[in-house]
Amino acid sequence: MVFEPIRKMKVAEQVASALRRAIVSGHYRAGEGLPSERALAEAFAVNRSSVREALMRLEAWGLVEIRHGDTTRIRDVFRSAGLQLLPYLFAPDGKVNQSLVDDVLAIRGMFLGWTAAQAARAPQAEAAQRLRTLAEALDAAHRAGRPAPELQRLDFDFFAQLVEMTGNRVLRLFANALRDVYAKNGELFLYQYGTALIDAVHQRAAVAIAVGDAAAAQAAMTAYAQAGATIGGADAHPAR
């Protein structure tokens, strides 16, 4: 295998990242125009080709609409952007958007129960054993008082195995997006793991899945997710 030299972040990537932060933090509102390419090039002290490439990245993210010969306009991100933007929306101005955290937990809860039920409807012995092993590891870590980041990682590994067992490719893509959210903002969700919520619930779900009891599997994971979503609140996260 031939490796390429490690390079620093391209100028266009840096410009795009700075503009993305300005947009998602509300500095620019939907419908407003960005400064001209010339003005942006002067502000960032870069050439116009770098600005042009940065704007194309913003357009690919669904943040702007480029109109050749006209002003580049800001789009409504919740109408035009995809899940790839989600990790950057939680605290763009340093203050955590708790309502967005709650939205993620609600979606996670809905999918946890449904995914567990789907996995139980077509159980596979080898996959079910892997799930049981993950559940036991999570329960053991919880009883040993392991730190919240470790519990969070094991919890997500359990969810990823559930997703794998469904065979649903679209659900896998959603799980990938959720993993990216946790990778970039995991500390916002750690408060869920400082409780007795885990309490072998993953093991109960794993056993139900192994014997094909979809209702029991769904009930266990739905209750777990709903309990986690009710903890914390607006004061759960300090400003970044």
Is there a single domain that holds both residue 127 and residue 208? yes
Q: How many angstroms separate the CA atoms of 155 and 198, rounded?
A: 9
Q: Are residues 125 and 146 in the same domain?
A: yes
| Structural domain includes residue 75 | yes
The pTM of the full predicted model, rounded to 2 decimals, is 0.75
The residue range of the domain holding 54 is 11-81
The total number of structural domains that make up the chain: 2
User: Do 196 and 127 have their domain in common?
Assistant: yes
Asked if residue 194 belongs to a domain, the reply is: yes
pLDDT tens for the chain, 240 residues: list them: 444 554 556 899 999 999 999 999 889 999 999 999 999 999 999 999 999 999 999 999 999 999 888 899 999 989 998 888 888 888 877 788 888 888 888 888 888 999 999 999 987 899 999 999 999 999 899 888 888 888 889 999 999 999 999 999 999 998 998 888 888 888 888 777 755 566 688 999 999 999 999 999 999 999 888 776 665 444 455 445
